[in-house]
C-alpha cells in the first residue's frame, strides 16, 4: 500500500512522497505506447508537409510566382510552426508540471489532430485568394503550439516510467516514432505519387495524408485517456535557495519564502541558473536539430530544386535516409545506457562534420551507382540516429522532475525553432541566391561543430544517476 502524498501546512499542492517511499508505478509499456502513438501522428504530419512542400507552394501561393520564391514562402510558413513551439512548451509544460503528464498529452493530441485535418480541408489560392496562405499559417501556428507541448510531456512520461538503466532506450522511442512518422509521411507521399497522375496529386491527392490524421489522432487520444492519473510533480522542494528559485522561474510556482533581499537574491540567482540550463541544453541538441531536418525533411525539395530530380526520386531518397535513421535510433539509445550519453552524441556530431560535404558530392555525382547512393542515404540517416537516440534521455536528466516538462520542452522547442524550423528557409534561400549546392552540408556541419563544446560539459555518469 503506497503512502499518500503529503500536503504542506500552507494548504498548497500535494508534495511528492519522500525518497524511499513506495509509490504507484505506471506500467512502463502502457505509458510508452500512449506517448509514442501521439508522437508518431505529429511527425507523420510534419513528414507529409515536408514531402509535399513543392505541391503546397503551387496550391497556396499566387499563380505566376517563381517556383523557388514560392518554396521559400512555404518554408516560411513551416518555420512559423516552429517559432510557436516555445510558447507551446511553456503552456503545456506548465500544465504537465502542475497537473500531471496525462492532461497535457491529451490536450496536445487533440489540438494537433484538429489542426492537421483542417489543413487537408483548407481552400487553396484559387478558391480563397490571398487568404489561403494566411489560413495555412494560422493552422501551422496551432500545430506548433501542440508540438511544443508534446515533446516535454511525452519524454517526461517515457523516462520517468522507464525501468532502472533503461532511460536511454525508453527515451529513444520518442525519436524512433519521429522516424516512423517521417517514414510514413514520405511513404504516403511516394505511394500517392505512384498511384495518381501529377494533375490529380496537385488538385486533391495531397489532401489525403492530412485527413488521415483524424483516425491516427483518435487512436492516440484513446490510449492517452486510458493512462492512470499520476500525482502532479508539485511546485518542487519547499526550500529557499537557487534550486527552488530556478524551479519557480521555470514552472511559474516558486516557494513562498519570506520576502527580503536574501530571497530576492536567491530568486535572481535561480533564474539565471534556469536560463543557463536551458541555453546549455539547446547547445547540446542544436546539431541534432539542424542536421536532422536538413537530411531527413528538407532533402526532397533540395533534390528537386537543385539537382532537378523527379518528385518520386526525391521522395525515395528521403525514405532511405529516414529508414537509416529509424534503424539506428533505438540501438543508439540503448548503447547510451551502457556507455553514457556523451560519447554516443559526440560521435554523431563528429561524423556529420566530417562526412556532410562528401555525402552531397557523391549524391550529385552521376557516375556513382544507384546502389551506392542508397547506401550513402542510409548511412546519413543512421548518423542522425546517434544524436537522436540518447537525446531525449539526456534532456530529461538535465532538469528536476517538478520542472522537467517545461525545461526540456522549452530547450527542444527553442533548438527546433532556430535550427530546424529555419533549415528549409535558410537552405533554399541560400542555394537560390548563391548557387552553391553545398549549403545543406555546410549548415548541418557548422551546427554540429558548435554542439561539440556543449556536449563535452555532460557528466560521464549521468546515465547511471537517478532522475532528480
Tens of pLDDT along 333-343? 999 999 999 99
Q: Cβ neighbours of residue 174 under 8 Å, at least 6 residues apart? A: 35, 36, 39, 151, 154, 155, 158, 392
- CB within 8 Å of 70: residues ≥ 6 apart: 57, 58, 61
Mean pLDDT of 317-344: 90
Q: Is the pLDDT of residue 157 over 70?
A: yes
- Condensed to tens digits (0 to 9), the pLDDT of residues 256-268 reads 343 344 444 544 5
Q: Is residue 271 predicted with pLDDT exceeding 70? A: no
Predicted local distance difference test score (pLDDT) of residue 227: 79
pTM equals 0.75
Residue 214: name the closest of 135, 116, 141, 139 by CA: 116
Q: What is the pLDDT of residue 97?
A: 85
The structural domains of the chain, ordered by start, are: 29-225+271-458 (1.20.1250.20)
Longest dimension (CA), the chain: 75
| Nearest CA-CA partner of 305 in 443, 137, 189, 440 | 440
- Which has more confidence, 310 or 113? 113
Q: What is the mean pLDDT of residues 408-412?
A: 90
What the block records as the C-alpha cell of 414 is 527553442
Per-residue pLDDT tens over the stretch 25-70:
446 777 888 888 878 877 787 777 767 777 777 777 666 566 566 6
Give the separation between CA 303 and CA 323, rounded to whole angstroms.
18
Cα 398 from chain centroid? Answer: 17
Using DSSP, state whether 21 is helix, strand or coil. coil
- Cα–Cα distance between 401 and 397 in angstroms, integer? 9
Amino acid at each position: 500500500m503506497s503512502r499518500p502524498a503529503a500536503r504542506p501546512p500552507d494548504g498548497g499542492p500535494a508534495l511528492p512522497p519522500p525518497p524511499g517511499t513506495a509509490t504507484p508505478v505506471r506500467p512502463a509499456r502502457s505509458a510508452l505506447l500512449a506517448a509514442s502513438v501521439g508522437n508518431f501522428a505529429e511527425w507523420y504530419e510534419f513528414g507529409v508537409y515536408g514531402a509535399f512542400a513543392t505541391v503546397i507552394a503551387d496550391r497556396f501561393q499566387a499563380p505566376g510566382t517563381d517556383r523557388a520564391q514560392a518554396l521559400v514562402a512555404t518554408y516560411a510558413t513551416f518555420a512559423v510552426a516552429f517559432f510557436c513551439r516555445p510558447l507551446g512548451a511553456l503552456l503545456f509544460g506548465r500544465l504537465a508540471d502542475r497537473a500531471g503528464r496525462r492532461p497535457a498529452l491529451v490536450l496536445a493530441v487533440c489540438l494537433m489532430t484538429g489542426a492537421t485535418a483542417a489543413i487537408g480541408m483548407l481552400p487553396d489560392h484559387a478558391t480563397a485568394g490571398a487568404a489561403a496562405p494566411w489560413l495555412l499559417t494560422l493552422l501551422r501556428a496551432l500545430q506548433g503550439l501542440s508540438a511544443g507541448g508534446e515533446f516535454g510531456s511525452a519524454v517526461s512520461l517515457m523516462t520517468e516510467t522507464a525501468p532502472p538503466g533503461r532511460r536511454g532506450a525508453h527515451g529513444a522511442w520518442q525519436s524512433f516514432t519521429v522516424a516512423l512518422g517521417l517514414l510514413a509521411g514520405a511513404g504516403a507521399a511516394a505511394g500517392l505519387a505512384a498511384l495518381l497522375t501529377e494533375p490529380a496529386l496537385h488538385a486533391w491527392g495531397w489532401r489525403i495524408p492530412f485527413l488521415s490524421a483524424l483516425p491516427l489522432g483518435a487512436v492516440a487520444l484513446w490510449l492517452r485517456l486510458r493512462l492512470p492519473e499520476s500525482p502532479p510533480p508539485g511546485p518542487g522542494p519547499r526550500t529557499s535557495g537557487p534550486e527552488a528559485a530556478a524551479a519557480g522561474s521555470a514552472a511559474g510556482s516558486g516557494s513562498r519564502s519570506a520576502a527580503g533581499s536574501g530571497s530576492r537574491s536567491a530568486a535572481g540567482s535561480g533564474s539565471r541558473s534556469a536560463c543557463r540550463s536551458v541555453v546549455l541544453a539547446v547547445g547540446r541538441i542544436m546539431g541534432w536539430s539542424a542536421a536532422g531536418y536538413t537530411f531527413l525533411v528538407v532533402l526532397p525539395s533540395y533534390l528537386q530544386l537543385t539537382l532537378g530530380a523527379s518528385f518520386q526520386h526525391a521522395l525515395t531518397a528521403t525514405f532511405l535516409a529516414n529508414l537509416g535513421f529509424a534503424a539506428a535510433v533505438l540501438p543508439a539509445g540503448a548503447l547510451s545506457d551502457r556507455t553514457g550519453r556523451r560519447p554516443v552524441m559526440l560521435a554523431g556530431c563528429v561524423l556529420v562534420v566530417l562526412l556532410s560535404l562528401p555525402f552531397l558530392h557523391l549524391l550529385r555525382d552521376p557516375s556513382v551507382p544507384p546502389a551506392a547512393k542508397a547506401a550513402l542515404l542510409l548511412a546519413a540517416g543512421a548518423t542522425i540516429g546517434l544524436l537522436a537516440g540518447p537525446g531525449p534521455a539526456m534532456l530529461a536528466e538535465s532538469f528536476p522532475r517538478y520542472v522537467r516538462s517545461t525545461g526540456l520542452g522549452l530547450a527542444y522547442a527553442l533548438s527546433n525553432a532556430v535550427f530546424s524550423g529555419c533549415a528549409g528557409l535558410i537552405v533554399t534561400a541560400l542555394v537560390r541566391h548563391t548557387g552553391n549546392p553545398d549549403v545543406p552540408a555546410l549548415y548541418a556541419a557548422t551546427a554540429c561543430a558548435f554542439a561539440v563544446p556543449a556536449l563535452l560539459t555532460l557528466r560521464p555518469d549521468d546515465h547511471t544517476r537517478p532522475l532528480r
